[in-house]
Amino acid sequence: MFMGEYQHSVDTKGRLIIPAKFRERLTDTFVITRGLDNCLFGYPMDEWRKLEEKLKGLSMTKKDTRAFVRFFFSGATEVEIDKQGRINLPGTLLSHASITKECVIIGVATRIEIWAKEAWEDYFKESEESFNEIAENMIGFDF
């Protein structure tokens, strides 16, 4: 399970250090793709395969489904963690997430998310203000 928040930066070659706590679960190769809310999603290969199966099972006759599947898979790329714990992020993914240098890597149960630092801070502030309301609206969830 992934959890926690880590501040990192992308170098001029598009390399990003993956937090050591995440590397073991991600193993040497994992998948990064466009995520929702203008961030990037990173999946260990076993979780990626589960997600692939779910998406392949959706009806392709629905326009929104086709659009989502195209968006999600066209941005996906396998990345390898090098000996220094870094991955190379393609320019298209950096652009999608508006990452130029400073970023935040967070653990979200079965995946990691990579955010531009400013975007994460804005999102967090907005969500923090409505956290109690969001929790109340989550039917069937109890702390």
pLDDT in tens, 70-99: 999 999 999 999 999 999 999 999 999 999
Asked whether residue 143 is assigned to any structural domain, the reply reads: no
Asked whether residue 142 is assigned to any structural domain, the reply reads: no
Asked whether residue 36 is assigned to any structural domain, the reply reads: yes
Hey, what are 65's tokens? 């489904």
Asked whether residue 23 is assigned to any structural domain, the reply reads: yes
CATH code, 127 = 3.40.1550.20
Tokens 């930066």 sit on residue:
9
The band of 139, judged by pLDDT with boundaries at 50, 70 and 90, is: low
Asked whether residue 30 is assigned to any structural domain, the reply reads: yes
Asked whether residue 13 is assigned to any structural domain, the reply reads: yes
| Number of domains the chain is built from | 1
Give the structural domain span for 34.
2-137
Name residues whose C-beta falls within 8 Å of residue 7's C-beta, 6 or more positions apart in sequence: 102, 103, 104, 117
Asked whether residue 68 is assigned to any structural domain, the reply reads: yes
SS3 annotation, 47-91: HHHHHHHHHHCCCCCCHHHHHHHHHHHHCCEEEECCCCCEEECCH
Q: What is the pTM of this model?
A: 0.91
